């Protein structure tokens, strides 16, 4: 990934973080590797790239960060079909005619993308930052489509509404109604959920760091089957700082697919500079 573009994307992600922190088919896929634009609406195509075989993992990035940020995770995830996509207006995907969006619109786009791209369901959803909000809302809207969540430094449903819409590539994304819907939703039952939190200071104030930590703990209470892991060497874009740790979490969430399973602190987490916490 171009370093200048990545630094710009990281800066956008941290700005978003500051606003939010307030300071059925089972089995292995035989579908070949592909990277292409998939039409999900008359004027909207989304870019998606899929590699590997096994349970489908669908990765959704934070604000302004394109699919390239998942390259290290893609290279190290084992026994899964790893798919990552760009939301409308981001990376190589088309811009919606209105150049506007909401969490609900993102979820509708993802629902259409899974079907139009022929992805095997249910999927394990990997959501980074605000992509984690997409994952949380998707899992509550279409529970039969989701077999597990890996939330990579994601805000929770208690995140304060940003004062205005935020830039997501060429889209102005409004979180208000989506956050309200998440707050009114029931929990995730026993859905396997792995919460990966940054271990290196990301925010400029202790108050913002404490607010973010509170949201990470809340995410770990959204299901009766959760595991929280601290990425000891990472700031916010953990999939770039510690891709092997994120890949290990994805492999754990997808293991024994499609049976529901109790998550445990796999040795691979400590081996890749992660620490499990209660």
Q: What is the CATH number of the domain that holds 169?
A: 3.40.50.1820
Retrieve residue 46's tokens.
């989304």
| Dihedral angle of Cα 126, 131, 134, 135, to the nearest 10 degrees | 20
CA distance 206 to 142: 37
CA distance 230 to 65: 22
DSSP state of 198: E
pLDDT at site 257 = 67
CA distance 69 to 23: 26
Q: What is the reported pTM?
A: 0.89
Contact (Cβ atoms closer than 8 angstroms) between residue 100 and residue 174: yes
pLDDT in tens, 119-131: 999 999 999 999 9
How many residues appear in the chain? 278
The count of structural domains within the chain is 1
Retrieve residue 92's tokens.
């190589």
| Biggest distance spanned by C-alpha atoms of the chain | 48
Is the pLDDT confidence value at 9 over 50?
no
Structural domain of residue 208, as residue ranges?
3-277
Nearest to 77 by CA among 254, 232, 261: 254
pLDDT in tens, 51-69: 999 999 999 999 999 999 9
pLDDT at site 148 = 96
Lowest mean pLDDT among 8-22, 92-106, 158-172, 219-233: 8-22
Retrieve residue 12's tokens.
């956008």
CA distance 67 to 91: 7
Is the pLDDT confidence value at 104 over 50?
yes
pLDDT in tens, 134-166: 999 999 999 999 999 999 999 999 999 898 999
Retrieve residue 184's tokens.
């009114």
Q: Partners of 75 in the beta sheet?
A: none
Tokens 């990376």 found at: 91
């Amino acid at each position: 990934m171009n370093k200048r573009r990545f630094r710009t994307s990281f800066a956008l992600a941290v700005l978003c973080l500051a606003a939010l922190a307030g300071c059925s088919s089972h089995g292995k896929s035989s579908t070949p590797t592909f990277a292409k634009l998939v039409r999900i609406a008359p004027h909207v195509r989304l870019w998606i790239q899929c590699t590997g075989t096994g349970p489908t993992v669908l990765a959704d990035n934070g604000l302004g960060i394109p699919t390239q940020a998942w390259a290290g995770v893609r290279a190290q995830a084992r026994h899964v079909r790893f798919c990552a996509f760009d939301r409308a207006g981001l990376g190589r995907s088309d811009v919606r005619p209105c150049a506007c969006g909401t969490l609900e619109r993102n979820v509708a786009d993802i629902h259409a993308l899974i079907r139009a791209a022929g992805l095997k369901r249910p999927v394990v959803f990997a959501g980074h930052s605000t992509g984690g909000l997409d994952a949380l809302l998707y899992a509550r809207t279409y529970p039969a489509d989701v077999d597990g969540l890996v939330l990579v430094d994601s805000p929770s449903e208690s995140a304060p509404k940003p004062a205005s819409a935020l830039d997501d590539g060429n889209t102005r994304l409004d979180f208000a109604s989506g956050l309200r819907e998440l707050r009114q939703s029931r929990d995730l039952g026993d859905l396997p959920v792995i919460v990966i939190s940054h271990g290196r200071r990301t925010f400029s104030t202790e108050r913002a760091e404490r607010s973010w930590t509170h949201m990470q703990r809340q995410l770990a209470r959204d299901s009766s089957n959760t595991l929280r892991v601290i990425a000891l060497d990472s700031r916010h874009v953990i999939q770039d700082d510690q891709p092997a740790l994120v890949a290990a979490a994805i492999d754990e969430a997808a293991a024994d697919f499609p049976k529901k399973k109790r998550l445990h602190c796999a040795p691979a987490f400590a081996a890749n500079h992660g620490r499990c916490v209660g």
